[in-house]
Structure 1
Amino acid sequence: MEKLRKSETNTANKKLDVLLSEFRIYKETNEEKLSEILKELNGIKESQTFFEHKYEEMKAKMDENEKVVQEVLEENKKLRENVKKLTETTKETEQGLNDLEQYSRRECLEFKGLPQEKDESTDDLVIAVCKKSGVNIKKQDISISHRLQKVGNNRPTIIAKFLTRRVTNEIYDNRRKLHQENRKTKSVEAKLYINESLTATNRKLFVQCLEFKKENNFKYIWTRNGKTFLRKDDGEKVHRINNQKELDSMKRM
């Protein structure tokens, strides 16, 4: 029995020696590879750490840029609001100046269709046209009158300023009698008209309304105190046009 145990012990020791020998050989063979793998893993770890730092830096910059962008957007919003307010204020100011200029013309009327004569008296011509419309005035009723410079194909025009609003209104309200005479006259050059003296802004709007009248078969167009009025036909609604926006809304009707 003792010899058997010694034999088994010797066999086990030999196997152990073989395993130890094989381990030493494996270790020597793979130690260099393991070292390279460890170096590579360390490199990857270092690279990962580097990229993490770079990511944090980039994220911080992006957060900072986003903050700047938000500030710029807020500033732009305020600027747009200011521009809108300034635009509205400018429009209100322009409208106010236009209304003031129109008010200064409240005693002025324009007489269209009077051919220019040599050594003419524009006062006498105005008096003659008023007489045709059924209103008798005197030179004392006229503050000043003169020819307006002819522009393009515009008809010859005399502008007259009267001393009182009463006289101005009486002449303007009786202009319809001239319209009746114009219907009897075939010659365009012979037709006479009395119009309010409009500011450049109101005149431009009136011309646009006149085009709208023709395009949409409206029967009537006229002005009163610088404002333009349109009516489709007798008995229908009167449309007062104060600005381009209101005319545009009429076009969409």
Structure 2
Amino acid sequence: MKASIQQLESSVNKQNQYNLRNEIEIAGVDESESESLQHIATLVSKKVGVNLKEEDVDEITRVGPKRGSNSRQAPSKDLLPRTIVVKLVRRTKRNEILQAAKIRRNLTSDGIVEGPSKKLYINERLTKDTRLLFRDARQRSRQHGFRFCWIRDGTIQIRQEEKRPAITIRSSDDLDKHLGPMSAPNSA
């Protein structure tokens, strides 16, 4: 019965990840009351070298609870701005933006929003379960000497060396099978 529940949870997560296939996340853009998310997304895409038209976008929103919503409370500098989620009409445009962002890794908020320059990140959108599994995969792959750990189309891949084949990670069981258990931190 436990195996059946895990299989159902995995199936639901896979379907939810599939539903996010046309979405990207833009992290690191400061928020303002009068911001235009369409304008910000257009500027970010231009900065990576992709022409994003209004008709390419289905929906744009910030995700997560609004921070510093009390007008008397100044937003803390330690809090990260909420992530912008851009749902695109076509997956090809999403892939074009992700590929261009991969080439231009050192993106900053200069010329996009006012304020101090901050590093921007453009990534594909992941479900919570996939995000947590990816975090665990990155930690374990570093501990066990794997040089590469990445996401492509919502699927986690690891590779030990340049010429070796990639290994697909779909669950914690796959991590245990291919990388072994998480090592305990050394306490001196």
* TM-score, normalized by the shorter chain, greater than 0.5: yes
The separation in 1 between residues aligned to 2:44 and 2:162, in whole angstroms, is: 28
Structure 1 residue 153: deviation in Å? 5.7
Identify the residue that residue 167 of structure 1 maps to in structure 2.
93
Q: Secondary structure at the match of 1:175?
A: helix
Task: Describe the shift of the 1:218–1:115 C-alpha distance in structure 2 as closer, same or farther (beyond 3 A).
Answer: farther
Query: Which is worse superposed, 127-136 or 152-161?
Result: 152-161
- Bigger Rg over Cα: 1
Identify the residue that residue 113 of structure 1 maps to in structure 2.
28
Q: Aligned pair 1:138/2:64, yes or no?
A: no
The separation in 1 between residues aligned to 2:80 and 2:118, in whole angstroms, is: 14
- Letter in structure 1 aligned against 2:28: G
- Letter in structure 1 aligned against 2:45: C
- Of all paired residues, the percent bearing the same amino acid is 27
The separation in 2 between residues aligned to 1:154 and 1:215, in whole angstroms, is: 28
Structure 1 residue 116: deviation in Å? 1.3
Identify the residue that residue 127 of structure 2 maps to in structure 1.
199
- Letter in structure 2 aligned against 1:209: A
The separation in 2 between residues aligned to 1:143 and 1:94, in whole angstroms, is: 28
Structure 1 residue 155: deviation in Å? 5.5
The separation in 2 between residues aligned to 1:196 and 1:119, in whole angstroms, is: 26
Structure 1 residues 15-74: Cα deviation after superposition (integer angstroms, max 9, x where no partner):
xxxxxxxxxxxxxxxxxxxxxxxxxxxxxxxxxxxxxxxxxxxxxxxxxxxxxxxxxxxx
Map 1:1-253 onto structure 2 (within 5 A): 86-149=1-64, 156-179=82-105, 181-182=106-107, 190-252=118-180
Q: Secondary structure at the match of 1:111?
A: strand
- Letter in structure 1 aligned against 2:86: A
Q: Taking CA–CA contacts closer than 8 Å with sequence separation of 6 or more, which of the two structures ends up with the larger relative contact order? A: 2
Task: Describe the shift of the 1:175–1:235 C-alpha distance in structure 2 as closer, same or farther (beyond 3 A).
Answer: farther
Task: Describe the shift of the 1:153–1:213 C-alpha distance in structure 2 as closer, same or farther (beyond 3 A).
Answer: farther
TM-score by length of 1: 0.57
Structure 1 residue 145: deviation in Å? 0.6
Q: Secondary structure at the match of 1:114?
A: coil
Which structure 1 segments of 5+ residues have no match? 1-85, 184-188
Which structure 2 segments of 5+ residues have no match? 68-77, 109-116, 182-188
Contact 1:107 1:164 (8 Å CA) reproduced: yes
The separation in 1 between residues aligned to 2:80 and 2:11, in whole angstroms, is: 28
The separation in 1 between residues aligned to 2:5 and 2:156, in whole angstroms, is: 23
Number of corresponding residues: 162
Task: Describe the shift of the 1:191–1:106 C-alpha distance in structure 2 as closer, same or farther (beyond 3 A).
Answer: same
Structure 1 residue 127: deviation in Å? 1.6
Query: Which is worse superposed, 223-232 or 159-168?
Result: 223-232
TM-score by length of 2: 0.75
Please give the root-mean-square deviation of Cα atoms over the aligned residues, in Å: 2.5
Contact 1:178 1:193 (8 Å CA) reproduced: no
Larger fraction in helix: 1
